[in-house]
Amino acid sequence: MFDDLTGNIDAMFGQLSDGYEGKHQQVLDLIQAARAALTQENGELGPWEAHQLDYAESALKSNYLRLALGSTEKALVVSQLPRDEYDYGFNRPE
């Protein structure tokens, strides 16, 4: 599932090289697909993933489609981290 989403995100990065016009809904669809894939059966989403996907939606609204895709992909990647690395990465001071 994540491989398909990552592949679709990579493909969208390529499509954005032709411009952003008409691509907003496609990017939003990818963000929503990632959110659905990452949401646990109890309806919860990890805090790091939620942060990244919220950031992706904000970037999309501000017309930063590449940033939105990058944040979406990061949400998928961090969800695969071992718990100790996840906790360290999410909680480390900036």
Q: What is the pLDDT of residues 69-79, one digit of tens each?
A: 999 999 999 99
Amino acid identity, position 58: S
Half-sphere exposure (Cβ direction) of 47: Cα atoms closer than 13 Å: 7
The letter for the amino acid at 37 is A
Tell me what the mean pLDDT of segment 52-77 comes to.
97
Q: What is the mean pLDDT of residues 65-87?
A: 95
pLDDT of res. 56: 98
The secondary structure of residue 92, as a DSSP letter, is S
pLDDT on residue 94: 58
Sign of the dihedral through C-alpha 88, 32, 38, 65:
negative
Q: What per-residue confidence (pLDDT) applies to 58?
A: 98
Q: Is the pTM of this model over 0.85?
A: yes
Share of the chain above pLDDT 70, in %: 97
Per-residue pLDDT for 4 more than 70? Answer: yes
In 39-81, alpha helices (H): 47-61, 65-78
> What was the pLDDT predicted at 54?
98
